[in-house]
């Protein structure tokens, strides 16, 4: 029997944010609901955000999979940035096929591998939406000379700073492609000279000959570069839980089991909770009783000896 539904569905939103250097792309992403950054280039060090440092392609994939397994860790997962993630992907492909560079494959074969591998990564990000998490990708922007057929002259057109294989993939993948830039105004002075003024930061939400942008929410063409302008899109999105109801009765037993392990090992529950926060598994303030049963079974219990060793080593080094 056909399962037909009607009406608008509130689901997590796949967002790409790109634009000029220093305009505030990461600051905008930091205001997304309960954001967790996967920092590939160290660009969040000046921001007060929750982050996991990523140093390679396989680590990036493994971290996203872990977030999918434990969706309580965040409401928005931010990839900062796509440029560096693509670079990791290229390094991974070259190492896998023992090539010096992506160009050395010949006949564009390396770029075909890149397109396929990054496409699989975007499919993995789609799974975030299935567990109630907003995937967010940040990318740098670059101007490119563009000339229309049968038209005189050329103009600069902004696009993501990615290869011609990956850029179309993320543009098609997302629900919302936001181009962020400084808006300037040309004014005429008293002596009829032209002068640029302004510098207001804005984000563009629809396509223009001078930039790529899109949205599926009937947003105005131009908005202030402020999350408040799009915050309404992220309200009333249902949270999906990974934990089946039949497992809920096991949670109390797991909590008691871990508490006994903690008591017998000479560490405290607070030290365990602090380590979990530092690893990015749960936000600060989350207590043992709020951990998912899968988290106990797949991370805490199997790694408990290593957890105790890490905590004691940190204490010996003077850390709390």
Task: Grade residue 150 by pLDDT with cuts at 50, 70 and 90.
Answer: low
Instruction: Respond yes or no on whether the N-terminal peptide bond of residue 174 is cis (omega within 30° of 0).
Output: no
Residue 233, pLDDT above cutoff 80: yes
Using only C-alpha atoms, the chain has a radius of gyration, in whole angstroms, of: 23
Q: Provide the residue count of the chain.
A: 320
Separation of first and last alpha carbons in the chain? 59
Under a CB-based contact definition with an 8 Å cutoff, are residues 227 and 31 in contact? Answer: yes
Residue 189, pLDDT above cutoff 70: no
Can you give the pLDDT at residue 240? 55
Can you give the pLDDT at residue 249? 44
What does the mean pLDDT of the chain come to? 87
Task: Grade residue 245 by pLDDT with cuts at 50, 70 and 90.
Answer: very low
Higher pLDDT: 110 or 316? It is: 110
pLDDT in tens, 7-21: 677 899 999 999 988
Can you give the pLDDT at residue 285? 85
Q: HSE-up of 228 (CA within 13 Å, CB side)?
A: 2
Residue 166, pLDDT above cutoff 60: yes
**Two structure tokens written together for 132:** 């109630």
Task: Grade residue 320 by pLDDT with cuts at 50, 70 and 90.
Answer: very low
Residue 168, pLDDT above cutoff 90: yes
Task: Grade residue 65 by pLDDT with cuts at 50, 70 and 90.
Answer: very high
Q: What is this structure's pTM?
A: 0.72
Higher pLDDT: 143 or 18? It is: 18
Instruction: Return the minimum-mean-pLDDT range out of 15-29, 49-63, 188-202, 228-242.
Output: 188-202
Cα separations in angstroms, 76 against 62, 134, 296:
17, 4, 23
Under a CB-based contact definition with an 8 Å cutoff, are residues 126 and 172 in contact? Answer: no
Quick one: 91 exposed, middle or buried, by C-beta within 10 A (0-12, 13-18, 19+)?
middle
Residue 238, pLDDT above cutoff 80: no
Q: For residues 35-64, give the mean pLDDT.
A: 92
Instruction: Return the minimum-mean-pLDDT range out of 94-108, 151-165, 166-180.
Output: 151-165
Q: For residues 97-110, give the mean pLDDT.
A: 92
Residue 319, pLDDT above cutoff 60: no
Residue 53, pLDDT above cutoff 90: yes
Q: For residues 257-271, give the mean pLDDT.
A: 90
Residue-wise burial string across 262-301, b where 16 or more C-beta atoms lie within 10 A, e elsewhere: beebebeeebbbbbbeeebbbeeeeebeebbbbbbeebbe
Can you give the pLDDT at residue 290? 84
Given CA atoms 150, 154, 156, 159 in this order, what sign does their dihedral have? positive
Q: For residues 257-275, give the mean pLDDT.
A: 90
Name every residue whose Cβ is closer than 8 Å to that of residue 53 and which is 6 or more positions away in sequence: 39, 42
Higher pLDDT: 244 or 35? It is: 35
């Amino acid at each position: 029997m056909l399962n037909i539904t009607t009406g608008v569905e509130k689901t997590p939103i796949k967002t790409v944010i790109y634009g000029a250097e220093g305009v505030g792309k990461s600051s905008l992403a930091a205001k997304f609901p309960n954001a967790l950054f996967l920092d590939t280039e160290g660009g969040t060090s000046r921001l007060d955000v929750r982050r996991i440092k990523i140093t390679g392609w396989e680590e990036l994939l493994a971290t996203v999979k872990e977030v999918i397994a434990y969706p309580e860790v965040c409401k928005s997962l931010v990839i900062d940035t796509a440029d560096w993630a693509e670079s990791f992907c290229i390094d991974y492909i070259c190492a896998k096929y023992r090539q010096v560079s992506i160009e050395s494959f010949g006949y564009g074969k390396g770029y075909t591998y890149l397109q396929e591998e990054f496409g699989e990564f975007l499919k993995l990000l789609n799974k975030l939406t299935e567990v109630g998490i907003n995937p967010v990708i940040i990318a740098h922007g670059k101007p490119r000379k563009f000339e229309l057929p049968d038209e005189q002259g050329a103009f600069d057109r902004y696009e993501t700073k990615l290869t011609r294989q990956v850029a179309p993939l993320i543009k098609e993948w997302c629900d919302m492609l936001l181009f962020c830039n400084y808006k300037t105004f040309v004014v005429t002075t008293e002596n009829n000279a032209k002068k640029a003024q302004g510098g207001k930061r804005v984000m563009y939400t629809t396509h223009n000959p001078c930039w790529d942008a899109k949205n599926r929410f009937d947003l105005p063409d131009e908005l202030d570069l402020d999350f408040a302008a799009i915050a309404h899109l992220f309200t009333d999105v249902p949270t999906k839980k990974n934990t089946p109801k039949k497992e809920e009765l096991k949670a109390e037993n797991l909590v008691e089991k871990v508490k006994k392990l903690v008591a017998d090992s000479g560490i405290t529950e607070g030290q365990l909770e602090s380590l979990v926060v530092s690893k990015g598994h749960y936000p600060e303030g989350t207590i043992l009783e709020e951990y998912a049963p899968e988290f106990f079974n797949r991370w805490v219990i199997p790694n408990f000896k290593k957890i105790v060793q890490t905590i004691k080593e940190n204490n010996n080094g003077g850390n709390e």
